[in-house]
Structure 1
């Protein structure tokens, strides 16, 4: 066997209560759909031409040096606390230190049931695997902190959802899989020794300069609020911002019912399980603060003076709201060619969004058209746009790099929902050409490439995706 993954598995050295040792469950007939060679190089993986690669990345073998385990965590799901979640269908093979000195997890997702499976089958069908592969890699190309996709593998087996569907396994890479819900699990059980161990481990792995719980909370809040502002600047809707889907590393994780805006609306939601819009587009700004408050609550027992901890943590959460607003303004101002936002720029941004919402303008295409010189055709209210446009031109008169800034901030291509569904349908039928084409196109999201011009088109009414699903 020539495959070499340089494992160094620190999480597996934590106490047993942090995880359950669990090997992946073999599948019938694994075959490789895609392997991310560039990411493998970053991870210093060698021997990727190994004929057993598909076997090892589907669970039919354990690579040398791996310490497979399922992580234990809890979490708030749509506001309701569940004290026992955990990796129900994922196995952490181990960690590597990449060529930049960063420690990163390698996980198999859809690799069979674990002790945390809660009567689930532990498997994934092909659609969610391909969606996560395409969207996570697209997010990386857009500059968004995110988990990555190393491989996608067919299992040669069917899984039963509403109907029999082809099974698949995703090999996912993350800075870590430590979640807000990981802290909540130990806090809820009042297992404060384990909570302290988790804090020490997370601090050493992600926040070496944060020496107190307050320090680390502030750093996590900063990363997460900036992340959500970046999502919103791209029209991205996560769809299921439960605390178990919120990482301490500040990466986007778990691309279940995620979607990108087509026609702009601040209250847009896609997730079929988000019946009341808890995780709708604009609501994400409030929800991330709520999630950070749950992390703060879990950290309180680590501070000797509880009253002081609550006071300090509350101030951090309130300050994070200001950080989020400032980052939101900065990112949307950049989409208008404004390098340093000033008082009044928030109104300029909001007024354009109002024009877009009232006429159902395409989010991505409107901002890119503005960057390319003419967005008037994107706005239904032409007179309203003309008045706004005059204000905007006056505002950017002193911005010599406006056009370049706008083109760096507003992508040409995003993973449009109808294209993702089209790709999944083709792959279910055995044709992966659209999957590979999307990956190639979305690797260059800020470039206008003639061969991919069709991917800029919004959906027709018949193609419009109105609901997205978790896939579990």
Structure 2
């Protein structure tokens, strides 16, 4: 499907219709001087949107939420959440807006804005966003997509012409992103905490219909929903760990029901391997450190299970028994996904047993940490036969297992959004020069193919970049 410039974009409002209790009708604030900074033309094509029209004034109006189809029903979504372990009963889209759903081959895809202005969920915030953080989300989410990791996608970043006050005055921007949905663990917590069982049932039915239709045929559909989310998140977190990705703010309102990565605030990819790696400026205790991510995911899923108890069985003790059994599946599912991923990263065939792969992988990580080895480049160098002395005994055992080094090159990236390169690109972009951003974007969206002239994009951070690098949420 292709939408010509003179046709109206169709935005469905299934979420707002089916669960109106957590869908607050709202409008985006006007952008004084909108200017398109980056447009994801390949994603636009996938969504059935005409890229040339999106570059027009009307198209840019759609991308900032001020020029919508007449029957659109933009809403701010309500949700709760545990933020750094502390319960917050009312969060919601404080600076975001769900414009509606695009139909893509019969499946709805949310079109959602960040930085579009204050909503009643803003809790004193200004509802705005600056260019740097929105370009960061665009860059990292598209890198994750290129790596095959489930994620929300970025469609555009538009400068608004408005000043945003943070520590200093910054230029404002709106990000348009796309997702299978924006349902979160916090969405279920929000409704469950209000004691609205029938609303919770409709929300769960909406999630099942949208993401896990097979669960509707199960003997206990809501338990099957929980099982499905557990499986999706176990696979997702394993992929984060395999890629060296640190989300940075794994609050329950930032964990999707679909199993997509969402909300790229203080996120980053690890350079030197260290399970204690933390990038978020507000994570002073390391709750969301790289090595803690699987355990935090299990903790978040337990909060989802608690929210679903009333749907799973009328007898609370029986419901607790059932969800406990479901939650106990997470460690095994995660371990299986991680071990399978390490098998691919190390180029090992199915003839090598899972226990051997897991032991070999864990021993490797124990060697990487004290050597402060660069996590990403280590596996590419290993495939090329470059092994430093501290790893030689381990590598001898690995070679004895008959690794396929060509297969390793297909799954171990050359290029990731390295932190020093991201900062360099964002600094230039906020000063008006988008060329470094566009060049870095081209590199990281083709992550596996080594190309001449891009050597610096595969190198670890220079020594003067420092080990105290921090990222910020942008609010």
Which residue number in structure 2 is paired with residue 469 of structure 1?
Answer: 472
Gaps of 5+ in 1: 377-381
SS of the residue aligned with 1:466? coil
Instruction: Work out the CA distance in 1 between the residues paired with 2:342 and 2:289.
Output: 19
Which residue number in structure 2 is paired with residue 190 of structure 1?
Answer: 195
Match of 2:35 among 31, 42, 49: 31
SS of the residue aligned with 1:451? coil
Please state if 1:74 is matched with 2:80: yes
Q: Displacement, 1:412?
A: 0.5
Please state if 1:7 is matched with 2:5: no
Instruction: Work out the CA distance in 1 between the residues paired with 2:354 and 2:143.
Output: 31
Q: Which moved more, 1:419-428 or 1:343-352?
A: 343-352
Match of 2:426 among 411, 424, 427: 424
Instruction: Work out the CA distance in 1 between the residues paired with 2:379 and 2:74.
Output: 45
Which residue number in structure 2 is paired with residue 149 of structure 1?
Answer: 154
Q: Displacement, 1:319?
A: 1.2
Instruction: Work out the CA distance in 1 between the residues paired with 2:454 and 2:69.
Output: 38
Question: Is 1:3–1:49's contact at 8 Å kept on the other side of the alignment?
Answer: no
Deviations 1:368-412, CA, capped at 9 Å, x for gaps: 111233232xxxxx1x311111111112x2x5xx12321122100
Deviations 1:169-193, CA, capped at 9 Å, x for gaps: 0001000000000000011111111
Which residue number in structure 1 is paired with residue 249 of structure 2?
Answer: 240
Match of 1:456 among 448, 455, 458: 458
The correspondence of residues 359-398 of structure 1 with structure 2, limited to 5 A, is 359-376=371-388, 382=389, 384-395=390-401, 397=402
TM-score (structure 1 length as normaliser): 0.95
SS of the residue aligned with 1:67? coil
Instruction: Work out the CA distance in 2 between the residues paired with 1:342 and 1:72.
Output: 43
Instruction: Work out the CA distance in 2 between the residues paired with 1:247 and 1:362.
Output: 30
Instruction: Work out the CA distance in 2 between the residues paired with 1:339 and 1:95.
Output: 42
Instruction: Work out the CA distance in 1 between the residues paired with 2:337 and 2:384.
Output: 24
Q: How many residues align?
A: 461
RMSD over equivalenced CA pairs, Å: 1.4
Instruction: Work out the CA distance in 2 between the residues paired with 1:242 and 1:179.
Output: 10
Which residue number in structure 2 is paired with residue 327 of structure 1?
Answer: 337
Q: Displacement, 1:225?
A: 0.8
Please state if 1:305 is matched with 2:315: yes
Instruction: Work out the CA distance in 1 between the residues paired with 2:107 and 2:63.
Output: 22
Please state if 1:296 is matched with 2:292: no
Which residue number in structure 2 is paired with residue 93 of structure 1?
Answer: 99
Please state if 1:316 is matched with 2:322: no
Q: Displacement, 1:259?
A: 0.7
Q: Which moved more, 1:410-419 or 1:53-62?
A: 53-62
Gaps of 5+ in 2: none
Question: Is 1:332–1:349's contact at 8 Å kept on the other side of the alignment?
Answer: yes
Which residue number in structure 2 is paired with residue 446 of structure 1?
Answer: 448
TM-score (structure 2 length as normaliser): 0.94
Instruction: Work out the CA distance in 1 between the residues paired with 2:349 and 2:69.
Output: 48
Question: Is 1:3–1:53's contact at 8 Å kept on the other side of the alignment?
Answer: no
Q: Displacement, 1:65?
A: 4.2
Instruction: Work out the CA distance in 1 between the residues paired with 2:15 and 2:66.
Output: 23
Instruction: Work out the CA distance in 2 between the residues paired with 1:440 and 1:286.
Output: 34
